[in-house]
Amino acid sequence: VLKIQPSNDDILKEIKFESFTASQQALIHQSLTLSSRLPESLPEMNDVLRQSTYMLNTQKPTEIDSVVFGRAERFVRKFSNEDAVTHRHVVRWADLVQNRLKVDDKIAFELDLAAPREIKK
Amino acid sequence: MPQKLTVASKAPLVAYPALIAAQIAGADVDVAIVDAADVDGVPATLDSVKGTDKIVEALAAAHPANLKYDSKWFDLAFGLFSSKNFKDIAPQLEQLNDFLNFRSYLSGYSAGVNDVLIWGVLRANGVLGAAVKSGTYVNITRWYNHLDQNVKFGGAVQDFLNSVQDLRKQAKVGQKKESKA
């Protein structure tokens, strides 16, 4: 089980990129680029996670979920209800990741928060 | 001795929930395909158990650790979501979509039996399948596609469909041989 650490980026040194498919490698690049520009990139991250359960569209969390969570956590933790609705897919993903990976201090999310239905763009 | 799960491949609602539930339960089941609209008047039978809902119930009773379903999802799957009238279902789809705003699965943090029930029925129900694929319900679409890529969900259905195709090819070869003779 991957552990979330304050400096998750250390995990990056151990990632074997060649073990991922070409499309996953593109997603890795996208995930790392987006998460290096937080919190400005929250809307883009939200768009990615609207369609993808995990960052790399896998069935289980990967190292990249762990790294991105480590980078996003301090912003997501401070979310107001309004922020949570705006970035609902980031919240969904963060809650999934913190429950699938070992996290010491879980963020408390309100999973039944009323959120207006999103209209397809 | 393995149980025998017989599935009608041309049923209006193919018994995907039964097929997936058998896998998730870890039940010792041999799958037989009948290329017809029904088997004994129902979409599927498991030995003497008739009907998709009854089969899932029987599997859950025999494998409670792996298949502990929530009656709310069970009733929704085999009630409204089995309807082919889209107008009946649209409000329920909206509720399901809302439920998935902040959730990745129907219960907990990995695919479980409640996902089996709803996903299996959506996969079998063409009316719903079209609504899901159109992307109108963004959360349902994400959840649906995620499970479609899961070997126990989409994978199990694909294996089944491949077997149906093989069966039809064999039937054709058989017919040709007969007509030559």
What CATH number is attached to the domain comprising A38?
Answer: 1.20.1050.10
Number of domains in chain A: 1
* Cβ–Cβ below 8 Å for B103 and A111: yes
Q: Which residue has the higher pLDDT, A18 or B28?
A: B28
Residue A114 has pLDDT above 80, yes or no: yes
A109 part of a folded domain: no
CB contacts of B109 in chain A (<8 Å) are: 96, 99-100
Residue A121 has pLDDT above 70, yes or no: no
Mean pLDDT throughout B4-26?
Answer: 94
Count of C-beta atoms within a 10 Å radius of residue B105: 17
CB contacts of A59 in chain B (<8 Å) are: 146, 149-150
Mean pLDDT throughout B171-181?
Answer: 71
A90 part of a folded domain: yes
Identify the band that residue A3 occupies on the pLDDT scale cut at 50, 70 and 90: low
- The minimal CB distance from B142 to the residues A51, A91, A110 is found for A51
- The minimal CB distance from A53 to the residues B102, B104, B135 is found for B104
Rounded to the nearest integer, the mean pLDDT of chain A is 90
Range of the domain at A71: 20-100
* Cβ–Cβ below 8 Å for A50 and B142: yes
Mean pLDDT throughout B115-133?
Answer: 89
CB contacts of B143 in chain A (<8 Å) are: 53
* Cβ–Cβ below 8 Å for B102 and A95: yes
Among all residues of chain B, which has the CA nearest to that of A90? B102
**pLDDT the model gives residue B39:** 96
* Cβ–Cβ below 8 Å for B98 and A115: yes
The 10 Å CB-count burial string (b at 16+, else e) for B144-177 is: bbbbeebebbbebbeebeeebeeeeeeeeeeeee
Residue A120 has pLDDT above 80, yes or no: no
Q: Which residue has the higher pLDDT, A4 or A46?
A: A46
Cβ–Cβ < 8 Å for B118, B81: yes
Question: Is B135 within 8 Å of chain A by CB?
Answer: yes
* Cβ–Cβ below 8 Å for A117 and B135: no
Question: Is A59 within 8 Å of chain B by CB?
Answer: yes
**pLDDT the model gives residue A110:** 94
Residue B40 has pLDDT above 60, yes or no: yes
A78's CB contacts (< 8 A; 6+ apart) are none
Question: Is A46 within 8 Å of chain B by CB?
Answer: no
Question: Is A33 within 8 Å of chain B by CB?
Answer: no
Residue B115 has pLDDT above 80, yes or no: yes
Angstrom distance (rounded) from CA A4 to CA A87? 21
CB contacts of B150 in chain A (<8 Å) are: 59
pLDDT, tens digit (0-9, with 9 covering 90-100), for B45-95: 999 999 999 999 999 999 988 888 888 899 898 888 888 888 888 899 999
Residue A7 has pLDDT above 70, yes or no: no
Cβ–Cβ < 8 Å for B35, B7: no
* Cβ–Cβ below 8 Å for A92 and B136: no
Angstrom distance (rounded) from CA B100 to CA B139? 6
**pLDDT the model gives residue B180:** 58
- Give me the CATH topology for the region B3-180: Glutathione S-transferase Yfyf (Class Pi); Chain A, domain 2 (1.20.1050)
Angstrom distance (rounded) from CA B145 to CA B147? 5
Residue B159 has pLDDT above 60, yes or no: yes
Pick left, alpha or beta for residue B51 (phi over 0 → left; psi -120 to 50 → alpha; otherwise beta).
left
* Cβ–Cβ below 8 Å for B102 and A92: yes
Angstrom distance (rounded) from CA B145 to CA B170? 32
**Residue spans per domain, chain B:** 3-180
Question: Is B136 within 8 Å of chain A by CB?
Answer: yes
Classify B62 as helix, strand or coil.
helix
A66 part of a folded domain: yes
Cβ–Cβ < 8 Å for A100, A58: no
A54 part of a folded domain: yes
Residue B179 has pLDDT above 70, yes or no: no
Residue B181 has pLDDT above 60, yes or no: no
Mean pLDDT throughout B122-133?
Answer: 87
pLDDT, tens digit (0-9, with 9 covering 90-100), for A71-82: 999 999 999 999
